[in-house]
């Protein structure tokens, strides 16, 4: 699940034009994750702002965290990845 908003109002807190670029990057990251075997998409959330990608959620294995981060970081338009995906036991 991806999101571009960072407030409860639902408004995009971006200067003109940046939101559409982040929407494109978000779609590309989600597509990369979809094609990355081993990443449970239903358990990973993605946020993108100004090309900075934040991954969150919880997965069962550390390698899944790594695969998600690798997929995001290799996506055009991503300038930074913060991997906040936690492990569940």
Q: What is the DSSP pairing of strand 44-49 with strand 80-87?
A: unpaired
pLDDT > 70 in the chain, percent: 79
76 pLDDT above the threshold of 80: yes
Q: Domain range spanning residue 58?
A: 2-87
CATH number at residue 54: 3.30.1340.30
pLDDT one-digit tens code per residue, 54-66:
999 999 999 999 9
Give the relative orientation of helices 18-35 and 62-73 as an angle to the nearest 10 degrees: 130
16 pLDDT above the threshold of 90: no
pLDDT band of residue 2 (cuts 50, 70, 90) is: low
In total, how many domains does the chain have? Answer: 1
Interval 36-64 mean pLDDT: 96
φ, ψ of residue 46 to 5 degrees: the values are -130, 135
């Amino acid at each position: 699940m991806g999101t571009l908003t960072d407030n409860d109002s639902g408004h995009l807190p971006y200067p003109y034009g940046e939101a559409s670029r982040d929407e494109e990057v978000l779609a590309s990251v989600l597509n990369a994750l979809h094609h990355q075997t081993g990443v449970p998409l239903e358990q990973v959330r993605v946020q993108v702002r100004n090309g900075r990608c934040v991954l969150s959620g919880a997965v069962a294995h550390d390698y899944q965290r790594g695969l998600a981060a690798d997929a995001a970081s290799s996506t055009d338009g991503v300038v930074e990845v913060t991997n906040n995906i936690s492990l569940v036991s």
